[in-house]
Structures are given as C-alpha cells and as structure tokens.
Structure 1
Amino acid sequence: MGECRDARGLASRQIAATFWEGQFMPGIPHVSELYADEFRGPAHGPTLSSRVDRSSRRDWKGRLSDAIVNKVIPSLYAAHGETKPGGRTAQECAELRRRVEAERFLGLVLSNSPEAQWQHLLGLRASGMGLETLLMEIMAPAVRELGEMWLNDRMSFVEVTTKSARLQHMIRSLGRSDSDFLPDGCGSVLLAAAPGEQHTFGLFVLAEMFLAAGWSVSLEANSTMEMLCELVASRRFDAVGLSVGSERFLAPVGSQVAALRQASEAHASRIFLGGWAFTTAGQSLDDYGADLVAVDGRSAVEKAETLLIGR
C-alpha cells in the first residue's frame, strides 16, 4: 500500500502539467479549485502575485503534487469505478513504481544531468530497490531508448556513446559499493564483447549480475579475437561468455566460438553466448557451437551455473 502511494505520488508530478493547462475531466477538481484559497485574497485586497513571496512560490509545486495525490488521484479512481486505489495488488503497485521510476530516469539521461542520474539511482537503492531490478528495469530501458534514438537519427553516435559510457561507470560504482558483491568461489567467467561490437552496456550489467551470484569476473569490452584466445589459453576460466548486441556481428560467431574452444581446450572452459542480437536472430544453438545461448542476464547466470555441475 505504501509503495502504491509512492508510485502515485511520482505519477502525479507527471500529470500535474495537464491539470494546470486546464485539460481536466468532468467531475475532477481543477487546479484552481484545489488551491482556491491561494488564488483568492481578501476582498479588494492584494493579488496572489503581490502577497506570495518567493519561498512560497518555490513550495507551490510540492503543494500541488500533494493536492493531486490526495484529491485528484482518488477522483480518477472513482471516475473509473474504483472507490480506492488499495484494490491494486502489491505486485501491481511495485510494477507501477518501476515504470514511473524508469521514465523519470530516462528523462534525466536525456537531459544530460549525470549528477542527477546518480543521485536518483542512489535514492532508489536507499529505498530498498535491489541492484538487479535497478540494472534491468531502470537503467537498461534507458539504454535501449538511446539505441532506438540513434537508429532513428534522433541522436548522434557520439551522444549515445557518451551517455552509455556514463551509465556504465555508474553500474560499476553501484556494484562495487554493494557489500554483497564479493566472490565466494562459485566459478570464474570471462565476459567479452564480440570483436567490433560497440553496444557493451549489457555486458557491464551482466558482469554485475555474475558478481552478485558469487562469480569471479574478468571483463573484456574492446578486445580482438586474437587477444581473447591468448587470454583463455593462459588463464583458466570455468566459463567464457561472448556478447553480441548487433545482428551484423552474428556471421562470424560460429568461427569465434570454435577458436575460443580450441584455445581453452586445456581448461575445458564452457562457452556461452548472449546479447540483444540473439533475441531476433532465431538460429538454434547448433548454429554457433556454443554450450548455451541466453537472451537475458538472469537466465545467463542461472544457465552458466548449470554448466559447472559435474565439472
């Protein structure tokens, strides 16, 4: 119930402008009614502009949001046949909150305010939101939107790269500050971007998820295939993950998997694939020669753990 109230409070700020512009529904109080006393001074007395000081003006938005939460939102529920918002389940309230927070974070990313983005993420962590939820449901949607904007020529490659790099730095900072992210000997994994791949945000998210599961993680976001083969030949990894974000890098994946398997033959490393490209590719596991293909971070960690059984 508390989460639902919080989510409605956040949503109210997004709809406040609509009510202020006069776009309100029949039976729903207009903003001028909510603060009638503020707009009406004594008869023939001072007007609002002359009697409200600057500090009051700064508080106006907060008081308007409170009014929307306490008066407008309940009226909206009543208009749709609900007597109170408590009819929502806890899960629905949590989902609503995550959607609202994701939209707010996207707005901060697009507004080019790194400090505001960071403080928003810290606030969500302090409120009890888990790191995986933060990565997958708050930050990842923002990065996907950046990619869509680039594909639709609404944002330059430089802008997308700069914003994504900042988010990747935030991911590392969030993960390293979490005391639960200490390897406990579950296994060792090398996570690498496919050679030439520029979309590496998902790789950083995956690294933090493996760390959270107790894995020892090595990350290679910008290495050639020769460099990766040398690495797996010289060091023992229980698993090697190759991330492919764009379909144009899928063609050589089969030969890359074969090269990695041959280089790591002495260590019998398991090889898995992941990344956005595999959500639309449609090929079977046999097309690439890997031990598994995972389309999201959670399943990648779970499936990788099954690969260690019997080793």
Structure 2
Amino acid sequence: MGQASGALARPAINRQSLKRLETHFIAPEIYRREDVAERQAKLARIVSNEIVPRLLMLHTEAVPAAPPVALVIKTLAPTSADITGLADIVLGSDLDAAAAYVLMLRDRGLSMETLFLELLEPTARVLGEMWDRDECDFIDVTLGVARLQKLLAIFNDTHILTSLDERRHVLMAMTPGNQHSFGVKIVERFLLAAGWQVRTELEGTSDDIADVANNTWFAVVGLTAGSERQLESMRTTIARIRRESRNQTVGIMVGGPMFTANPALAQDVGADATAPNAPSAVIVAQKLFDLAASEFRDSARR
C-alpha cells in the first residue's frame, strides 16, 4: 500500500480531449448508440440523488489520531460503497467526476497499484455482475468499462502516449485441452467493444499459440482454462509464449473458475494477472498495457 502523501495534484484532463479519449476507448458502433442521451440523463439523476450525497459523506470522514496500523489500513482501503459508487458514476458520462472520485480516494494515501487492485478492477467486476443480473445491458457495461480504462490510462499517464495508440493488440486463446469457448468469446466481445484489436485462437497446441505470438506483435495475451487438469498445459503454453513472443515484455492474463476461486494460481502458472469476468479482463489488459507503456517511456528517456 502506498505511503500517505501531502497534497496530490489532480491529473491533467483537458476537457477538449475527452471526446477523443471517449472514441479511442470505445468502439464507434457502441459510442453511436441512439439512446445514449436518454440513458445518460437517467444515470445523471441517479448520480445526483444517490452518489453525490455519498461523496459528501465520504468527504467528511476523518481518520482518528494515531490509530493502530490495522485500523489505518482498513480506513484507507476502498470500501464496497466506494466500489459501487464508482460503478454508478462510470455508468454516467462525466469522466471528470469519476476522476475526482478516484483522486479523492488517492488523497487518502493509496497508491495507484492499490487503487487498481482494490477499486478499479473490483468496479469492473461489479459491472459484470450487474450485467449478469440484467441490471444493465451490454452497452451500459461497455461504456462503464471503457471509462474505467480511461481513468487508469489518465492516472498512469499513458493516455498521452500517441505513439502507442495503435499497439492495443491482444491475443485471446484457449489452453490446449479446454473445450469450452464461451468464456473466451465473451471476453473477446468486451475487448472489441472497448477499442482493442483482438485475435482469437480457439484451437491449437502450445506450439501453435506461441507461433501466433511470434509472428504478430501483441501487447497482451489472454488464456483460459476450464479445469485444473489444464493447468500444466497452460504453464507450458505461457512459458513458450514468453520465450518466443515477438513482444518480449508481453503481458499475460489468465481466466477460469479455478483462478476465480484462487487468484494466486495465476502466478503459479507464470501469468501476470487474472480476471474473474469479462469486464474486469478489459481493465486487467489495460493495466498490463500501461505497465509496458511505462517501460517504453522510461527506456526512451535513457
């Protein structure tokens, strides 16, 4: 968890550039939905009546003087109310309000890594759960996830790296032996709607998948497994990808029921991250992209 800091500058968000950011992170056919205005008006009323009072309540909270460390951690960490509050806001259309919300939590002393793990990714997970319960449709969730992507890029300063705009390529593949393609196709659908260029491989051996990664540059590779019986195959596939990928800093994310039950398995098979559902997979992919972009930026400065 990041150290508490003094006054933190608000990330620079040029309002005139928000339109470009919106269309960069959302597929055009999604952004041009005819009833967007009507939906945004409805969500604006929700924000006004429910979220703003919640923000005011959070703003007045104070950490007791010299509390125990465990209490500090509990007080600083994003709560379930913080997560659902951000979910409500990103379902609206005010990116500036969403950025202010994240900044308010960062001002508590949280690092961006903590905010990603405990706020942005969980918020995407909540959006996916809302979609599962038919509380909002695919377009609503896509717009919300795209705005979470923008928040992550803004706070990580990758939204200004125009040279990387066309490098948001992801390879989605099924681990050899996995016969269930539904999950891969759902993740593919959300990635495409969120502005990623996606190649999907539903068949093939570890060698075949590694060959695809060797022949084409990908920022991220996503693999799914349907059961623990496929973990060894996944481990082998990931090792081959890392060894042969054209992008030697490729980010690798994994998914499947065993990773949802035990996220630590992702590290065991050699992956960088895991995501419990399709909307959160989009945010994890953006995080991995941002890490690579940061390395690219740092190397260019040397």
TM-score by length of 1: 0.42
- Normalising by the residue count of structure 2, what TM-score does the alignment of the two structures yield? 0.43
Q: Which has the higher contact order (CA 8 A, sep 6+)?
A: 2
Rg bigger for which structure?
Answer: 1
